[in-house]
Structure formats: C-alpha cells, structure tokens
Structure 1
Amino acid sequence: MGVDGARVLVVGATGEIGGQAAGQLAERGTALALAGRNRDRLEERASALGERPWRSFDAYDLDGCAQLAPWAKAALGDLDALVVAIGVAGFGSAAKMPEASAEHLFTVNALAPMAVVRGALAVMPPGGVVSVVTGEIVDRPALAMADYAAAKTALATWLEVAAREVRRDRITVMDVRMPHLDTGFAARAVVGTAPALGPGAAPVEAVREHVVLPVLDALRR
C-alpha cells in the first residue's frame, strides 16, 4: 500500500501528540480525518490542515468512541490507518486515590482507546495499521502513579492480544511506548501533583520517530 492518499484517522488530534501526528501526516500527503474532545480546537485544527473532516467525542461515550472509525471510513472513502493519542495523567498513592478519579483514569486511558480500536478493527481492510500511544510508564511504573500506570498497562496488554488476533487479517497493531515528553501533560493531571519527572524529549522528533514514520513504513509493506 502506498503512502500518498492513504486514509488516516487521528483520534486525540487536539492534544500535543495527536496534533503533531496529524500535522506531520498531512505534510506527507495522507488524507486525514480528525477526532478530539475540544470541539473548537478541533474545528480550528481541521481548518488549518486543509478543511479536513472532523468529529468531536466524549471518552465516557464508549459507543461513540467505537463509531469514530466507521465515521472516518465513510468520510474518507476507506480507512487505512488509525492513530490514537488520548489520555489523562493522574497522581497519588494507591491507598488514597479517590474512586472517582481511578474510574476516570481507567475510562480515558484504557476503555476509550480500546473502544476506538475495536471499532476500527471491524471496518479496516487487510494491510491496515493501528498505532496507539501508551507510554514508557508501562515498562517503568513509578510511585504515586499506580492507577495511571495500571490503566496504561491494561491498554498495552489488550493491544498485544488484539495484535495477535488480527495478524491473520494482515492488520498491524502497534503499541507506542512514547517516552516522557516536554508537553506539560503531567501539569494538567486530573488528580494529584506530578513528582519531579526530569526533562522530556522534544515532541516533534519523538512523534516523528515513534508514531509517524512507523505508521508510514507499515503502510508501505
């Protein structure tokens, strides 16, 4: 499959990672559809990238999440690749994490991305590519991040099994263990205060290396 004109849905297109992925994929000639939570920012980004089709969604609406890929397939004429870059940070000890916050972390970081991918796997043709950002937290869970790490690890485990299940359909599923980035993501945590995390990697280069180039390489196979 070629890259020029490849039809790609980017979910989380109003965030730093998803926004970077959308912009870089647009520069490389793909046909894009965008999805995100913030309707105003999403409309603005879709316009800036050349009036791309867009759709807002709520992570708590799992049925709505599952319908994003079918919508994008209809809007673009087909769906060759999916990039999912949604999530929220949360900090606090395992013993003191409020139940509502734990539920929120699991819904946004695990259940919503799973629903998006599930919807895509139902409509994606052979040769399709799915790229989902989890993070290095899966490999290196830290203190005060038990619930956040558990949600991301649950997503990573689900992706690993799903990848094996759809291999026979020639669909590639990639779990992107993105390194800590300098985006201010931790400062926007839904609960708690981030510990000292040290300097992060530059988003532009990290997204190119870990998301955009692997997706394009997989589409060329």
Structure 2
Amino acid sequence: MDIEGRRILLPGATGVIGGALAERLHAHGARLAMTGRDPAALARVAAACGGPPTRVVDAYDLDGCARAPEWAADGLGGLDTVIVCIGVAGFGPVPTVSDAVAEHLFTVNALAPMALLRASLAFLPRGGALAAVTGAVVDTPTAGMADYTASKAALSAWLSAVRREQRRAGVAVLDVRLPHVESGFSQRAVAGGAPSLPQGLPVNEAVDVLIEALTADPPPGEPRPDRPHGATGRPHA
C-alpha cells in the first residue's frame, strides 16, 4: 500500500519506536492521529510531525483505547490504517512474577491492542489495514520472560484469527514480530530485570521493518516473505 495520504491512527506514539515511526510516516506523507500516555512526549512528537491530532490515552484504560478509533476517524475524516506500538516489558522466573504484574502485562500487551483494533474495524474500508507489533519472542519463548512472552503470543494468536475473519472484507491484518530493539524498552520493565539479550536492532532499522511490512503487497492468499532479522509481517494467512 502507499503511505502518502493514508489516514493512520498510531497508538503508542510516545514510545521510542512509536515516535520514530510517527516521524517516518509523516515524512512519507501520511495523515496521522496519535495517542500516548505522556502528554509532554506526545506534544514533542506531534510538533515533529506537523501538529496532527493527538489524544492522551493510557493503555490500561481499555474503554479509552476503544474510543480512540472513532476520535481519530472524526479528526481525519476517516481511517485507513491503525498501527499499534504500545507495550510494556516484564521479566523474572515464573515464581517471582506476581499475579498483578501478569495482569498488567496482559492488559497492556494484549487487551489494549485488541480493544483498539477491535473498535477500529467499524471504520476501516476495503483496502484498510490493522497492524500491531508483537515480537520475535512469539516464536522463541525465553526463560525469564514467560509472562511477557505469553502476553505477546496472545495478541499474535488473536491477530491470526482476525486476519481470517477480515479476508473477505479486504482488510489486511499485520503481525510485525520485531526482534529485540535497542530502544531502552527492556530497561523500563514493569518488573524484574532483563535476561542476557543479544545486540538489538537499531531503532531506525526497526522502523524500516515496520515500513516494509506496511508497504509490501503480496497477492491475496500468498504468504508474506520473512522480514529482516526475524521480524515477520503477515497480512495474509
């Protein structure tokens, strides 16, 4: 798909990857609406992107997440694409992870993206797209990251089912499985310390993967080729 002129809702624009993606999409001519939980950071990203509509939304507020697509469609005069970049890390052996931490991980990494994407379906036309960043952990579960991995895997499985449901409607559903990225994400964990990780992908290269996933156009029903560095974007089953 072409990005220029596309009306895109970007939840998680205040994160390192989300902010970098917002600037790249703006440079490609996209019309953006952005959400994030940090008002100051959201204002900075918006200023770098020509002052698009913004809204403060905390991922833990599922009702607020569900209302964001209608707000974005009103502000942009419609909605073509939603790219969810929200997420939170959490680490530790299973016995050390509290139920409260597990609930937080599943809410932010799975339930919030689901709420955003579910509500977006009412506004997307044929040719629209839903996308979410899951992670390479979906394919390679790692000790010390069980609950985090499970939350990302839940979102990935949900995307796979939605992809099948939306095929006839002509809405692409992308699961972008980024590898570890040098964004400082693992240092901002809600609990625990990150296990030893390999050198991560630079943020600009992670954004390259996201842009490639958004702009690739395989024939209907054909598998999308593997993404660089193990990341996968899959608009078709």
TM-score by length of 2: 0.89
Distance 2:3 2:108 in 1: 30
Percent identical residues: 49
Q: Deviations over 1:142-194 (max 9, x none)?
A: 10111000000000000100111011100000001001111111111110011
Aligned to 1:172: 172
State the shift of 1:213 in Å.
2.5
Aligned to 2:135: 135
Structure with larger RCO (C-alpha < 8 A, sep 6+): 1
Aligned length: 218
Q: Secondary structure at the match of 2:167?
A: helix
State the shift of 1:68 in Å.
1.1
Aligned to 1:63: 63
Aligned to 1:52: 52
Contact 1:34 1:55 in 2 (8 A): yes
| Distance 1:105-1:4 versus aligned 2 partners, 3 A rule | same
State the shift of 1:58 in Å.
1.4
Contact 1:24 1:208 in 2 (8 A): no
Contact 1:180 1:200 in 2 (8 A): yes
Q: List gaps (5 residues or longer) in structure 2.
A: 221-237
Contact 1:81 1:215 in 2 (8 A): no
| Distance 1:2-1:203 versus aligned 2 partners, 3 A rule | closer
Aligned to 2:157: 157
State the shift of 1:67 in Å.
1.2
Q: Deviations over 1:22-75 (max 9, x none)?
A: 111100111111111111110121122111110111112111101111111110
State the shift of 1:214 in Å.
2.2
Correspondence list, 1:102-121, <5 A: 102-121=102-121
Q: Secondary structure at the match of 1:35?
A: strand
Aligned to 2:82: 82
Contact 1:36 1:57 in 2 (8 A): yes
State the shift of 1:96 in Å.
2.3
Distance 1:216 1:80 in 2: 13
1:181 correspondence with 2:177: no
State the shift of 1:2 in Å.
4.5
Q: Secondary structure at the match of 2:96?
A: coil
- Amino acid paired to 1:124: L
Q: List gaps (5 residues or longer) in structure 1.
A: none
